[in-house]
Amino acid sequence: MREKILHNAAEMFLNLGFKSVTMDDIASSSGVSKKTIYIHFSNKTELIEAVTSYLFDTICCGIDMIHEQEQNPIIELFEIKKFVLHHLKDEKSSPQYQLQKYYPKIYLTLKQKQFEVMQESIKENLGRGIEQKLYRENIDLDFIARIYFNGMVGIKDKDLFPLQEYSMNTLMNYYLEYHLRGICTQKGIQELENQLYN
């Protein structure tokens, strides 16, 4: 039952936002009473904490599976982008913005976890890209990984990039191209252009 509540709550929060979804809405969509939800989660904040953890673990698990396919690092970044967008519903309700505004402690904890996982993941991607002569060999892996993370967080700022003007898919495509053009060799640029064309 806990899993079902988490899954339904995650869907609703991503589609409608953390602020506007009530415990009544979640109970109704899960086909249970509010009392049942309170058996598993003592309040909405605790449920949001559990949902962000659940989404984080689901996305990490999917990214690990993409890594295991050992595709070339440029294709891998585009595959991860597709996977993340699918799971975050194209971020139509700007969940990160709402989390930051209304649940800042949960947001900061999640951001720290994302940073740690992404640093490792991006450095590994950069290392393979250099080996495969897709990325320039003189890049500073730690710096690029940090800049990449900062940019990914930055494009989700809806004051900077209003969702009426940019879909999350468009923003992520622009950002991936921007990132890759800065680090690719000529061979890498050709692979990037194939990806953009496809």
Check which CATH number belongs to the domain holding 143 and give it: 1.10.357.10
How far lies 36's CA from each of 20, 72, 111, in Å?
Answer: 21, 47, 30
Q: Is residue 63 part of a domain?
A: yes
| Domain range enclosing 186 | 50-197
Q: Is residue 3 part of a domain?
A: no
Task: Give the position of tokens 């009544």.
Answer: 24
pLDDT at 159 over 70: yes
pTM (predicted TM-score): 0.90
Helix 23-30 to helix 2-16 angle, to the nearest 10 degrees?
120
Task: Give the position of tokens 């909405």.
Answer: 44
Q: For the chain, how many structural domains are there in total?
A: 1
In tens, the pLDDT along 36-73 reads 999 999 999 999 999 999 999 999 999 999 999 989 99
